[in-house]
Amino acid sequence: MRRSHARPAVGLLAFAAALVSPSAWVENHTEPTLLKQVVHQEYATVAGLDPGTHMVSVREDGGRVVSVGPVRHNFDQIRLGDRVNVTFYAATALQSLPNPSADASARVQSQDYTAPQGIRPATASGQTVHSPVTVVAVDPVKESVTVQHADGRRQTIQSDVQPGQELIRRLHPGESLELIQTRSVSVRVSDVRSR
């Protein structure tokens, strides 16, 4: 597969898509149905650099500091004060379990992306947690479902997308499902750099 080195944002978008694409889930499951997703983008300023770990600390315009990385390539091109684009992504989906009596433990998948050497520095890091759950309650008016995890913890999820809302209307207490939760953050140096 050939990558375009002129557009690092394309690689970051592909990374986020891989985290929530059906091919990222375990084989033999039905396709996941998205319940909700949040994409938040903003500018931030590089506030710290750790050459030992290649981690980058960025300060959002609101003052919150987030550490990201490691930036495996082009770390030496990043400077304190650089303006960066930060994208936070979160998604929640449900899918049926092929064998509800199978292992009831949660599985975690982690993925990292770093821009190829020679282009503007960029990094992304994400984690997807697959948890077997049982439907406890369905509220079609609020378009929400309450599920119980294997450890007894309950979680209520309100859908903000049509496919998820349609799925919630078809669910029944006692159904065994897999809850898929993805979180990622990506950072790339902006076109305009301040020094």
How many distinct structural domains can be found in the chain? 1
| Three-class DSSP category at 8 | helix
Pairing label, strands 176-189, 83-96: antiparallel
Any domain includes 1: no
Answer yes or no: pTM beyond 0.85.
no
Per-residue pLDDT at 188:
84
Neighbours of 116 (CB within 10 A): 14
Task: Please report which confidence band the pLDDT of residue 16 belongs to, taking 50, 70 and 90 as the band edges.
Answer: low
Any domain includes 2: no
Any domain includes 195: no
- Mean of pLDDT values over 110-124: 82
List, for residues 154-183, the tens digit of each pLDDT value: 999 999 999 999 999 999 999 999 999 999
Any domain includes 3: no
Any domain includes 23: yes
List, for residues 54-66, the tens digit of each pLDDT value: 888 888 888 888 8
Segments forming the whole domain that contains residue 52 = 8-189
Any domain includes 151: yes
